[in-house]
Amino acid sequence: MRRTAAALLVLLVLAPVVTLGFAHWRTVRYDSLIRKHCTRYKLSFHLVKALVHEESRFDAEARGKKGELGLMQIKPAVGAEFWERQGKRTLYDPAMLLQPEHNIEVGCWYLRDSLDMYRHLPDPRPYGLARYNAGHTRVARWISATSAHPQSNFLDNVDFPRTREYIVRVIDRANRRSQNYLW
């Protein structure tokens, strides 16, 4: 009976430690890949990490409802566009998006491209994240609505509540983490 009680006590003490350890490992295991591609594409580490958190909760096998794959939830068409722009002559295999290194590289490339589209604006992050999440056509429509109503801001005109909340969450998480490095 004493051994059972002792074993149960050890489990009760160690289980939260093991769980917390796994949760921490899950959030930091791709940091070196994120840093590598953030450096290559001149992106904020905290912004990309916040994006990965939002898109997949650090699950490299994540699959979205509309065919998005991997850590950064990349659509196969975006992967194929990346492949083509890299000058690759072989057929693109979307299954590569389930490989963390490739997924993070494609995601960083696409985020950089998205931010560059709006670099003329004071803070391109909301626009780039909106494109990443909802597409360029919708962002153009929301920018047009903002221009038509100068008293409003861009986020006021994002008529997809999930996209608006997504943008706010990613930017907020990135800002908080850049001020306090703990993830």
**125-134 and 136-148 are packed helices; what angle lies between their axes, rounded to 10 degrees?**
130
Unique residue bearing structure tokens 């909760």: 57
Could you give the CA distance from residue 17 to residue 20 in angstroms, rounded to a whole number? 5
Architecture of domain 30-179: Orthogonal Bundle (1.10)
Could you give the CA distance from residue 117 to residue 96 in angstroms, rounded to a whole number? 26
Q: What is the CA radius of gyration of the chain?
A: 20
Could you give the CA distance from residue 90 to residue 119 in angstroms, rounded to a whole number? 32
* pLDDT of amino acid 24: 62
Instruction: Locate the DSSP E strands across 70-138.
Output: none
* pLDDT of amino acid 108: 98
Q: Are 117 and 132 in contact (CB under 8 A)?
A: no
Identity of the amino acid at 8: L
Could you give the CA distance from residue 132 to residue 110 in angstroms, rounded to a whole number? 8
* pLDDT of amino acid 1: 57
Walk along the chain (183 residues) and give the pLDDT tens digit of each residue.
566 765 555 555 555 545 556 566 567 999 999 999 999 999 999 999 999 999 999 999 999 999 999 999 999 999 999 999 999 999 999 999 999 999 999 999 999 999 999 999 989 999 999 999 999 999 999 999 999 988 889 999 999 999 999 999 999 999 998 887 554
Q: Taking the domains of the chain in order of start, what are their residue ranges?
A: 30-179
Could you give the CA distance from residue 42 to residue 1 in angstroms, rounded to a whole number? 60
Q: Are 100 and 30 in contact (CB under 8 A)?
A: yes
Q: Return the closest-CA partner of residue 55 out of 76, 74, 34.
A: 74
Could you give the CA distance from residue 179 to residue 38 in angstroms, rounded to a whole number? 18
Return the bridge partners of 74, or none: 69
DSSP string, 124-163: -HHHHHHHHHH-HHHHHHHHHHHHH-TTS-HHHH---HHH
